[in-house]
Structure 1
Amino acid sequence: MEEYARIRQESELGIPESERTTPLRQALLLRLGVSVHPLAGTIEEEYQKAFYLDFMSDEITEEIGSPAEARLARDSESYLLWIKLDAMPNWLLRVPLTELTHNEFKPLFINSLLITIFLILGGWGFIRWQNRPLKNLESAAISVGNGVIPEPLPEKGTTEIRAVTTAFNKMARGIEELETDRRLMLAGVSHDIRTPLTRIRLATEMMSETDNYLSEGIIQDIDECNDIIAQFIDYLKPVDRADFSNISLNEMVEELRRALKIYEAGGPLESGLDQDILNYTFDIDLKENLPDIYASYIPIRRTLSNLLVNSKRYGDKWIGIKTGVSDHNKKVWISVEDNGPGIDDEQMQKVFEPFTRGDTSRGSEGTGLGLSIVKRIVTEHNGSIEMSNRKEGGLRVKLTFDAYHK
C-alpha cells in the first residue's frame, strides 16, 4: 500500500510513468521470488532437464514480441518456471510457482489417469463390438470359399455392417441353392445319358457272332462315353466337407501296393488301372511317421489314381511315388513321377485347364479333365499342386496339404 501511495503521489507531481512504476515492478518481482541467473553450470543442466512448454512459450513470445522459451521443472516442494529470452541469450529467468505443490496435482493426475483408462477401455469395447460382426463375416466368407455354407449371420452393428451382413446372407443362400441345383442336374444328366447307352450296349451284346467286329467297336465307344461322363461328373461334383477325416497318405500308397500284389496273384484289378500295370516298375519312397492330413478319402484317392493314369499313359514303364514333409512338419506332400518326355515349361499351367491335354510331346489321349479334377480337389482341400520336369527326364507332380496334428 505504501508503494501504491507513493506512485500516486509521484503521478500527481508529474513524474514519468516509467520512473514511477520501476520500483513497484522490482518489489513485485522480489516478492514473487523471480530471479535472473546466468546460463551456465548447474543452472544450465537444470534448465535442459526441464519439460518444454510449447503453449506457454508461444504465449510469452506473442506477448513480448520476441522469441521466448518456457520450461517447467520440479523441486522438492513445488514447481519452477524457467524462461529464456532471445533478448537475453546468456541469462535465464527463474519463476518459482509456490502455489502449485505436488499434493495439489495428485487429484488432477489421478482423475486424468482414471479418465484415460475409462476412455481406453470404452474405446476398446466399442471397437470390439464394432469388429465382432466383421470377424464373423470374415470367418463365414472363408467357409464359403472352402465350400461350406454357414448359418445366416446375425444382422447387428451399424447400418453399414447390417447392410453388408444382409447382402452376404442372401449371397450365401443363393450359392447354396445353386449348389443344390447343380447336384440335381448332375444326377439327372448322368441318368438320362447313361440309360440309352446301357440299352445300346445290351442290344449290341445280343448281335450275332458274325458281327463281333462291329459290336466290339460299339461297346468300346460306349465304355469311352461312360468314362467321359464320369470325368465330367467328377469335375463338377464338389467335395463334401462332412466326409473329412484324418487320412494317411502313406497308407493310401500301401493300399495301392497291396492291390497290385492281389492282381499279380490273380485277383481283381482296382478300378482306374489297366491290365498291363504289372509291366511297370514302381519306385516307392515313403516318409516314416508321416503326419496325417484332414481330407475326404475318396476325392484324394481319385487324385492319386488320376496321376497314376497320367504317369502310365505318358511314362516308359516306370512310376515313382514319394511322400514327405516340409515347413517344419506343418505341410505334408506326395509326388508322382514318370520317365516320359515331360512338358514344356510354357505349358505347365495350361495343363490344369479343362479339356487341355498337354503338348504334343506327351500325346493327346484322354478327355483333358484328369489334371483339372486333381487341381480342383486339391484346391478344395486348401492344398497346392506343383508340376516340374525331372532332371532324369519325365514329369513330377507334387501335391501339398496341411498336416493334421491331433
Structure 2
Amino acid sequence: MRLLPKSAFGQTVLLIGVLLLINQVVSYLSVTYYFVRPTTQQISSLLATQVQSVQSQGLMSAPLEQRLAYAKQTKVEIMTTEQALQQGLRDATHYNFMSSQVSSQIGVKADVRISTAETAVGSEPYRVWISLSTRPNIWVSIPLIGGNDAHISPPPTMYLMVIGILSVTGGWWFVRHLNRPLQALQQAALQVGRGQFPPPLKEQGSSEMREVTRAFNRMNQGIKQLEDERTLMTAGISHDLRTPLTRIRLASEMLPEESEWVRDGINEDIEDMNAIIDQFIEYARFDRTGEWENANLNTLIGDMVRVHERYESHHITLKLTSLPDTPVRTVAIKRVLDNLIENAFRYGGDKISISTFFDRTKQRVYCRIRDFGPGIPDNELDNAFMPFKQGDKARGSLGSGLGLAITRKIINMHFGNITLRNHPEGGLVAEFWLPGAH
C-alpha cells in the first residue's frame, strides 16, 4: 500500500499540510510552555495561598458571623455544599490541571472548579470553587477580579485546529488552481495518444506552464498535419495502383479459353492486392466514422456470428453472459470482431469459441475469442500488434500484417485494451475489454 502521493498536486498539498502541522505543533507548545503554563501556575499559586490563609485562620469551622465578616472584607466566601450549589457550583466546570497544581502546593488533595459568566451568580463574571479532601462538605468561593478580560481555559487547541484547517484548505485551493492547466494538458495528451486531435489548449497558469502549453499546441498541430498528409498520400497511392490493376483484369479477360487457369490466377492475385490496399487505407485513415451509441456487445457478436454461419466449415461456440450496454462506435467494433474471428478461422482451424463477461468491480465488458490452432510463440506475442509485423508465421501467416494493428487502434480509441495469449490446452486467445462508461 502506497501512502505517499505520486502526483505533483498531491505531493504539494502533502508538503503544505506537513509544514502547517509542524507550525501548529510548535505554536501549541510555545503557547503552552511560555504563556498558558506560567499563567495557570501563577493563578494556582494565588488560589493556594488564599486557601492556606483561610485554613490558618480556622474559617472553615468558624461561626457563620465570622465567615460573613471575612467575606465582606475579602469577598472570599466559605459555605457548605448545599449553599454552594445554590450559588453556582452546580454549573461550574472542573479543571484537572488547576486541581493538581493547587493540591501540590498546599499538600492536600483539592477539587478546583470555575463558574463562567453564564453560570456565576453576582457581579463577578468568574468564581473559583475549591474544596479540600479534609473538609469535603466545605467550599471556598474566590472571585476572579478582571476575569472578563481573560478566559481561564486549557491551551487554545480549538483555535489552532481551526487555523490549521483554514491554512490547509487555502493551500489546497491554491495548488489546485496551479495544477488545473497541467490536468488539461494531461487529458489532451491522452487524446493525442489515442489518435484524436483536441482543439488548442488555452494558455494559462505560470509562465513555465504557458510555454509548455504553447509547445504542446504546436506539436498537436504538427502531428495532425502529418496525419492528414499521410491519409492523402495513401489515398493517392491506392488510386494509382487500382488503375493498372483494373487494366490487368481487363487484359486477363481477353485471354483465350484454354488459358482460363492463368486468368483465374491473375484475378485471385488482383483480389489479394485489392484487399491489401484496402487494409493500408483503413490503417492510415484510422476510421472514426459513426457516432457514439450505447450498444450491447453480445448483440454485435451475434450479428458477426450470423455472417460466418453462412460458411459450412465455420463452427462457433458461444458462451455469452448478460452484459450492460456500452458506449461504442458500432461499425468500428464490428470491424474488430470480424478481424479477430477471421484470423481465428484462418490460422486456427474451423472451430472457435467466443465468450463474454462483465467485471462489476472494474466496470468493464470483456470478450474472448479462442481458436484451436498451433498458437504463437510467446516471444512473438508482443510483435503481433505491430504494423507490418506478422506474429503468425508459425501458423502460415498471409496478408499485410495490419489486421491486429487496426484492431488495437480501434480498441484504444474506445479507451479499452486488447491482449493475446496462448491457451494452456492449445490455441490462441484474443481478449479485449471496453469500459462500461466513458
TM-score of the alignment, normalized to the shorter chain, above 0.5: yes
**AA in 2 matched with 1:231:** Q
Whether 1:335 and 2:368 are equivalent positions in the alignment is yes
Report matched runs for 1:252-291 at 5 Å.
252-260=300-308, 263=310, 277-288=311-322, 290-291=323-324
Aligned match for 2:334, one of 298, 301, 305: 301
Alpha-carbon distance, 1:331 to partner: 0.8
* 8 Å Cα contact 2:349/2:372 also seen in 1: yes
Cα distance in structure 2, aligned partners of 1:138 and 1:99: 65
Give the distance between the partners of 1:191 and 1:324, measured in 2 at CA: 43
Show the counterpart of 1:389: 422
* Offset, 1:125: 4.3
Distance 1:245 1:48, change over 3 A: farther
Matching residue's letter, 2:301 = V
Q: Distance in 2 between matches of 1:390 and 1:404?
A: 30
Could you say if the C-alpha distance between residues 216 and 388 of structure 1 is closer, same or farther in structure 2, counting changes exceeding 3 Å?
same
Write the distance in 2 (CA, Å) between the matches of 1:325 and 1:117: 43
Identity of aligned residues (%): 38
Name structure 1 gaps, 5 residues minimum: 1-28, 37-44, 51-73, 79-97, 264-276
Q: Give the alignment of 1:3-402 within 5 angstroms.
A: 46=97, 76=114, 103-104=149-150, 122-240=170-288, 243-260=291-308, 263=310, 277-288=311-322, 290-328=323-361, 330-358=363-391, 360-402=393-435
Deviation at 1:333, TM superposition (A): 1.3
Report the Cα distance in structure 2 between the residues aligned to 1:366 and 1:147, rounded to whole angstroms: 24
Q: Match of 1:279, SS?
A: coil
Q: 1:225 to 1:383 in 2, by over 3 A?
A: same
Report Cα offsets for 1:357-388 as digits up to 9, x if no partner. 33554123333222222222222222112222
Could you tell me how far apart the structure 1 residues matched to 2:363 and 2:402 are?
30
Shift in Å, 1:315: 2.3
* Cross-structure match for 1:63: none
- The equivalent of 1:403 in structure 2 is 436
CA change 1:123–1:256 in 2 (3 A) is closer
Deviations 1:226-259 (A, max 9, x none): 1111222222222427633223221112213333
1:330 deviates by 0.8
Distance in 1 between residues matched to 2:100 and 2:201, nearest whole Å: 57
Find the counterpart in structure 2 of residue 24 from structure 1: none
Assess, with a 3 A threshold, how the Cα gap between structure 1 residues 227 and 378 changes in structure 2: closer, same or farther. same
What SS does the aligned partner of 2:388 have? coil
Mark the CA change 1:314 to 1:127 in structure 2 (over 3 Å): closer, same or farther.
closer
Judge conservation of contact 1:133–1:161 (CA < 8 Å) in 2: yes
* Secondary structure at 1:386 match in 2: strand
Q: Which moved more, 1:248-257 or 1:356-365?
A: 356-365
Cα distance change on mapping 1:46 and 1:170 into 2, 3 Å? same
After TM superposition, give the deviation of residue 220 of structure 1 in Å. Answer: 1.5
In structure 2, runs of 5+ residues without a counterpart are: 1-41, 50-95, 102-111, 115-125, 128-143
Aligned to 1:174, what secondary structure does the other structure show? helix
How large is the Cα RMSD of the aligned pairs? 3.7
Deviation at residue 260 of structure 1 after TM alignment? 4.4
CA distance in 2: counterparts of 1:150 and 1:48, whole angstroms: 70
State the 1:283 CA deviation.
Answer: 0.9
Q: Judging changes above 3 Å, is the alpha-carbon distance between structure 1 residues 281 and 166 closer, same or farther for their aligned structure 2 residues? A: same
Question: Structure 2: how far apart are the matches of 1:237 and 1:210?
Answer: 43
Cα 1:148/1:358, change in 2 over 3 Å:
closer
Q: Is the 8 A contact 2:374 2:426 kept in 1?
A: yes
Judging changes above 3 Å, is the alpha-carbon distance between structure 1 residues 326 and 257 closer, same or farther for their aligned structure 2 residues? same
Assess if the C-alpha contact under 8 Å between 1:148 and 1:241 holds in 2: no
**3-state SS of paired residue (1:151):** coil
Report the 3-state secondary structure (helix = DSSP H, G, I; strand = E; otherwise coil) of the residue aligned with 1:367: coil
**Contact 1:146 1:380 survives alignment (8 Å):** yes
Report Cα offsets for 1:303-352 as digits up to 9, x if no partner.
Answer: 21121222112223211111211243711111111111222222222222
